[in-house]
Structure 1
């Protein structure tokens, strides 16, 4: 639990946009933006913004081009600069805080103390499952000889980016669900030890859909409280640990990552009532929530699967809803790409 000696780099003027705050959060270890106003020789703390504030803003329909006060916590918990490190650590643990801004008289910001990891759950409690059994037909000819998750993005296989990002968040136990060209994965990753993780492989004899392969997992005598599932052909900056935290805090049965997709009509539209014209809308934008292909499931949710039977993830969620189970959405603001076509691959690789 260190001091952030570069806390001034986390500061953002109160008139700045939420998009600017997102950049600071994504690039910092402490995962917070300090919203301030400045006067001569002093910086006044006006509020804080965390990724949770951003996700709630998305849920409330707030534009990311809005100014920071729209979503910031204007009354964050702060401490004085007289407290010892032991006192600061105790406060973080006691209140389940991630950050403690340090202020002096009149709310003048003088530092930041933070926890490097969240305290509610450890990655050791979660099995990280990557669905990597698809044929990748949309990405031919790249997938003629290798499966899509093994196609290189920014110098390494897509799936390696997922594993390395998950490991950096504290996840060490992985299961890869395979079908098409499984030896491409097993020969590259082995048991995972060269990558600092453990990897087990589940090979489907026939394709079992986007979640059916999980029915082949043997979780007996294993103390996993949840299973994080991701498609193997995604490139993203998703905070996997935070997603698990959100799932647990909400006591969810199943959680789905949601990404907002904006589609702008290239034409102006005419509003009508019957054959009467009532108005005009210039190039309207339709906002939809799409399934981002990342999920957290409580281990009881796996009980909705029949061993070896094909099932897709949306059907599992619908089953859970029909049973009255708590299913929640986790809104993404981070970089996220579904690498489905060659144009997607070229865009990510900067071609």
Structure 2
């Protein structure tokens, strides 16, 4: 399985920390957050990564190189414009080969999310898209979600105000997509 790592954001909400370094490269206990994600993916057997970069891409490229020092293979995609999550994923499509399922993960995520359980759930539900969800006490910095009894998303709102909060369940920034989803993303 290939993984698209979304590592191009500006990290504006945590400036000035991200004025000179991309948010995924901020250190946590002497390792960049992105290195921790790469290790987590490798632990789950995902070793073919497509990193989508935008803000200061050379910092990430210089650190990871081709990925071999980290036990993975990395392909870099650097769009000329900020196309958002779906648009950037569409730009990575040509590097997916014949993969039928693709994991997408935010490059600034601190997680121990069980990717195997997510893959099993996706398969069991015969889903086209599976979004990793979790509950939090303060959902203001996240996309909030309500699901029905069959785990289908009924409502989604990105970064609500307190007056808009309708759930404590959030989008983790981890997605599992069937290849056909790319047919629905405009070029």
TM-score w.r.t. the length of structure 2 is 0.80
Aligned-partner SS, 2:39:
helix
C-alpha distance in 2 between matches for 1:262 and 1:224: 37
CA contact (8 A) 1:146 1:181 kept: yes
Which of these two proteins has the greater Rg computed from alpha carbons?
A: 1
Aligned-partner SS, 1:207:
coil
Q: Which residue of 2 aligns with 1:160?
A: 35
Using the TM superposition, give the Cα deviation of residue 290 of structure 1 relative to its aligned residue in structure 2, in angstroms: 1.5
Q: Which residue of 2 aligns with 1:259?
A: 134
TM-score w.r.t. the length of structure 1 is 0.44
Gaps of 5+ in 1: 1-125, 264-285, 308-351
CA contact (8 A) 2:4 2:92 kept: no
C-alpha distance in 2 between matches for 1:220 and 1:129: 10
Using the TM superposition, give the Cα deviation of residue 287 of structure 1 relative to its aligned residue in structure 2, in angstroms: 4.9
C-alpha distance in 2 between matches for 1:224 and 1:287: 34
Deviations 1:74-110 (A, max 9, x none): xxxxxxxxxxxxxxxxxxxxxxxxxxxxxxxxxxxxx
Q: Which residue of 1 aligns with 2:70?
A: 195
C-alpha distance in 2 between matches for 1:262 and 1:144: 29
CA contact (8 A) 2:50 2:74 kept: yes
Aligned length: 160
Classify 1:203/1:169 alpha carbon distance in 2 versus 1 (closer, same or farther; 3 Å): same
1:303 to 163, 183, 187: 183
Aligned-partner SS, 2:169:
strand
Using the TM superposition, give the Cα deviation of residue 178 of structure 1 relative to its aligned residue in structure 2, in angstroms: 0.7
Structure with higher RCO (Cα < 8 A, 6+ apart):
2
Pair 1:223 & 2:98 matched: yes
Gaps of 5+ in 2: 139-165
Give 1:1-80 correspondences, 5 Å limit.
Answer: none
Deviating 4+ runs (over 3 angstroms) = 218-221
Pair 1:242 & 2:122 matched: no
Using the TM superposition, give the Cα deviation of residue 148 of structure 1 relative to its aligned residue in structure 2, in angstroms: 0.2
